Amino acid sequence: MTVLSLRDLRITYSTQGGPVPAVRGVNLEVGTGEVLGLAGESGCGKSTIAGAVLRLLPKSAKIEGEILLDGQDVLALKPGKLRALRWAGASIVFQGAMHSLNPVQRVGDQIAEAMIVHRQAQEKEARTRAGDLLQMVGLPARRIDDYPHELSGGQKQRVMIAMALACNPSLVIADEPTTALDVIVQAQVLRLMKSLQRDLGLSMVFITHDLSVLVEVSDRLAIMYAGKIIEEGPAEQVFHDPKHPYTEALSAAFPEIGDARFRHRPSGLGGDPPDPMNIPSGCPFHPRCPKAFDDCPTHEPALYEAGEGRRAACLLVEGVRAPATGGAG
Amino acid sequence: MSTTPAAATGEELVLGPPVLEVRGLEINFKGRGGLFSKKLPDAKAVDGVDLTLHRGEVLALAGESGCGKTTLARAIMGLLSPQAGEVRFEGQPLGRNLREYRRHVQMVFQDPTGSLNPRKTIYEIVAEGPRVHHISHGPDGESEEDLVARALSRAGMRPPERFFGRYPHELSGGQRQRIVIAGALVLDPTVIVADEPVSNLDASVRGEILALLMNLRDELQLSILVVTHDLGLAWTVADRVAVMYLGRVVELGPAPEVLLRPRHPYTKALLDVVPEAGGMDRPILGGEPPDPTRVPPGCRFHLRCPVVASGRAAQLGIEERCRSEDIAITESGEDHMAACHLVELGEAP
């Protein structure tokens, strides 16, 4: 079963400087109980996709294509239905979500509010459930009467996760949920999210730039560059045996401790992620690509089959086009 | 400097002469409150640290937030004065010579955007150091412009003249961090203290900045203290690693030793949470995050220590000492040290 399906999604922001294409034709599917990891650097369009699924983008964003959530066309929803979709259809845990808690409202009331607004529970029942949810995310139920300032960063992020689960959504989107947390707390929160996902059979889209985190929690990975998906496949395969040179570089940015290849040899790419206003011709990655050859500046690669269940947008993918020297990326 | 990077575990560590020495350093922050609210106890941010940085060495200082690593870095920069202990630079204790000292020891901060004045040109930003220090000529009679150009080009901004008139907002994140590094290099420092130098940069750009730091070490024999929470980064760049917990260095040694054969249970716990495929089944350290206002008696880690919690410490007959005996790390001349009673027994955590 497919929970979320994006079909040729294109999102363009109109700005004073002209239209900025943030997402340029993305096709993605998330199955029931599946965790899809969406990786990429700042400006690659990954958070824009998250915002589009919940229709949280500003008016200046023009969305084309299709977003189907449980078969429902999200882009065609009327305001009333849209409100029902948020939290209950899909919920989102933001980066630095701990700052999005209301500082003058008890956390239990904030969790209960989501359920009451969505008419999923009466006040009393909602409060009991809020306590249960807190326990589920590893906080004592008595914390229900705490104010946000009484909780640590990791605890607040747990409250946000409880809130995201309050209305039993079919999809949870986590946008950099652990980026602002300390290493050990990050590991605790990741472990919690993964165990909740397994126990409840949640479908998730997990967004971060940190590939090493993604490979730990995801079933499948999709790597974005300049508004497009450039590689997709089973998480461990994509991380350990990347087919796209960009994925290779991202993966090398998070070397495994003990890997002699990286000892005293930090590896990175020259240049910077492209400006969405000024995307290079042909393969958008070619100016930074260590393996670029003559065809790259003129031929934009599609997502080619690159092994079982794998796709990569690189002309070097076997059978597509061979450069004068060297083998497949 | 170390050699033979290919054989990571058989690496040979050759250290140059000491450049910067931290001896018995203690820094407390006064607890807030007292007049109308409950007085909070003082925070022992740095609680007795000994550390030596050698010529041409890259030393990583690792630990969770609140462990005191940034405070230690700031004290090394002379930005905080210690309650006890001292920092010595080339054998001289820090004191009245601070101004001169700051020429030789430069800091690179985490956020390149925040540390660059948006209203100044790149030239002005890089030239600020020499102007503050009243340096109008280089040692070989170079003009200010020569000095700025050389620093920019050493930081990988080539050709430097192209960047003179530009402003920080016209540059990318990676380039801005290079400007920050150029601003440090222009004074020909001996030591660079880099506080999380790449954590605000895009993943693909990080390697380039780290490679730049490695090159500077090799070419200019710079000593670099890298403050980081990322042990993967320590693996990539550091010759030695110091792990801090609650104001103390609890483990110190050559990077491959500390990262592949940790001797302190805390180092092992930090290594266990480095994300990697299949890592979901490894144990995670529980307990309260470290609070420098409440340093526990005995070994400061014993309340969270998995060796104590699992009963292994009791089996080995050291539990009583873990609970009561404050154990410090001392530079005994041995390469790899840890402040843990297990070490005396020759046991791994």
Helix (H) or strand (E) holding A4: strand A2-15
Which residues 190-229 in chain A show a CB within 8 A of chain B? 190-191, 194, 209-213, 215-217
Query: Per the CB < 8 Å rule, is A184 touching B284?
Result: yes
C-alpha to C-alpha distance for B236 and B249, rounded to whole angstroms:
21
**pLDDT tens digits in sequence order for chain A, 329 residues long:** 899 999 999 999 998 888 999 999 999 999 999 999 999 988 899 999 999 999 999 999 999 999 999 999 999 999 888 888 888 889 998 877 667 889 999 999 999 998 998 888 888 999 999 999 999 898 998 899 999 998 888 889 899 999 999 998 999 999 988 887 888 888 888 888 999 999 999 999 999 988 989 999 999 999 999 999 999 999 999 999 999 999 999 988 888 899 998 999 998 887 778 888 889 999 999 999 999 999 999 999 999 999 999 999 999 987 666 554 444 43
Q: Is B104 helix (H, G, I), strand (E, B) or coil?
A: helix
Query: Model ipTM?
Result: 0.84
Of the candidates A103, A84, A185, A203, the one whose C-alpha atom is nearest the C-alpha of residue A138 is: A185
What DSSP line would sit under A187-256, residue for residue? HHHHHHHHHHHHHHT-EEEEEES-HHHHHHH-SEEEEEETTEEEEEEEHHHHHHS-SSHHHHHHHHTSPP
Of the candidates A101, A82, A181, A84, the one whose C-alpha atom is nearest the C-alpha of residue A146 is: A101
Contacting residues of A for B273, CB less than 8 Å apart: 183-184, 186-187
Contacting residues of A for B291, CB less than 8 Å apart: none
Residue A234: strand pairing partners? A220
Q: Which amino acid is at A239?
A: F
C-alpha to C-alpha distance for B295 and B301, rounded to whole angstroms:
9
Distances (CA, A) of A17 to A60, A143, A228, A280, B276: 13, 48, 22, 18, 41
Query: Per the CB < 8 Å rule, is B203 touching A270?
Result: no
Q: What is the end-to-end Cα distance of chain A in Å, rounded?
A: 33
| pLDDT tens-place string over residues B61-119 | 999 888 899 999 999 999 998 999 999 999 999 877 888 898 999 999 887 788 899 99
Query: Per the CB < 8 Å rule, is A268 touching B274?
Result: no
Contacting residues of A for B280, CB less than 8 Å apart: 190-191, 194, 216-217
Query: Per the CB < 8 Å rule, is B284 touching A255?
Result: no
With 50 as the cut, is the pLDDT of residue B275 above it? Answer: yes
Q: Is B162 left (phi over 0), alpha (psi -120 to 50) or beta?
A: alpha
C-alpha to C-alpha distance for A82 and B11, rounded to whole angstroms:
60
Predicted confidence at residue B291, as pLDDT, reads 84
Contacting residues of B for A236, CB less than 8 Å apart: 277-278
Q: Which DSSP letter does residue B197 get?
A: T
Q: Which phi and psi angles does A238 have, rounded to 5°?
A: -65, -40
C-alpha to C-alpha distance for A6 and A49, rounded to whole angstroms:
9
C-alpha to C-alpha distance for A189 and B273, rounded to whole angstroms:
11
Q: Which DSSP letter does residue B107 get?
A: E
Chain centre distance of CA B73: 6
Query: Per the CB < 8 Å rule, is B206 touching A253?
Result: yes
Which residues 135-194 in chain A show a CB within 8 A of chain B? 152, 182-188, 190-191, 194
Nearest CA in chain B to A209: B203
| pLDDT tens-place string over residues B170-181 | 888 889 999 999
B202 CA: distance to closest CA in chain A (Å): 6
C-alpha to C-alpha distance for B320 and B314, rounded to whole angstroms:
8
> Token pair 């550091």 is at which residue?
B238
Residues in chain A: 329
Residue B206 touches partner A, C-beta closer than 8 Å: yes
| pLDDT tens-place string over residues B115-137 | 899 999 999 999 999 999 998 88
With 60 as the cut, is the pLDDT of residue B312 above it? Answer: yes
C-alpha to C-alpha distance for B344 and B347, rounded to whole angstroms:
8
Predicted confidence at residue B7, as pLDDT, reads 39
Distances (CA, A) of B69 to A76, B19, B203: 52, 19, 23
C-alpha to C-alpha distance for A131 and A134, rounded to whole angstroms:
5
| Mean pLDDT (whole number) for B27-53 | 84
**Tokens (6 digits) for B246:** 């609650």
Predicted confidence at residue B3, as pLDDT, reads 38
Predicted confidence at residue A326, as pLDDT, reads 41
Which residues 227-266 in chain A show a CB within 8 A of chain B? 235-236, 239-240, 246, 249-250, 252-260, 262-266
> Can you give the pTM of this predicted structure?
0.88
A279 CA: distance to closest CA in chain B (Å): 15
Q: Are strands A220-225 and A61-69 parallel, antiparallel or unpaired?
A: unpaired
Closest partner CB to B276 (pick from A152, A212, A266) = A212
What DSSP line would sit under A29-98, residue for residue? EEETT-EEEEE--TTSSHHHHHHHHTT-S-TTEEEEEEEEETTEEGGG--HHHHHHIIIIIEEEE-TTGG
With 90 as the cut, is the pLDDT of residue B56 above it? Answer: yes
B26 contacts B84 by C-beta, under 8 angstroms: yes
Cis peptide before B159 (omega within 30 of 0): yes
B99 CA: distance to closest CA in chain A (Å): 33
Contacting residues of B for A241, CB less than 8 Å apart: none
Q: Which phi and psi angles does A277 have, rounded to 5°?
A: -75, -15
A68 contacts A4 by C-beta, under 8 angstroms: yes
Indicate the pLDDT class of residue B5, thresholds 50, 70 and 90.
very low
Query: Per the CB < 8 Å rule, is B236 touching A264?
Result: yes
Of the candidates B178, B100, B179, B86, the one whose C-alpha atom is nearest the C-alpha of residue B132 is: B100
C-alpha to C-alpha distance for B218 and B237, rounded to whole angstroms:
12
| Mean pLDDT (whole number) for B133-152 | 92
Query: Per the CB < 8 Å rule, is B275 touching A260?
Result: no
Which residues 49-108 in chain B show a CB within 8 A of chain A? 64-66
Asked whether the CA dihedral B136, B139, B141, B142 is positive or negative, the reply is negative
B328 contacts B48 by C-beta, under 8 angstroms: yes
Predicted confidence at residue B2, as pLDDT, reads 39
Rg (CA), chain A: 21
Question: What is the average pLDDT value for chain B, to the nearest integer?
Answer: 89
| Mean pLDDT (whole number) for B328-338 | 77
Query: Per the CB < 8 Å rule, is B232 touching A235?
Result: no
Size of interface A-B (CB pairs under 8 A): 144
Q: Which of B236, B272, B281, B291 to mutate to test the interface with A (most CBs of A within 10 A)?
A: B236
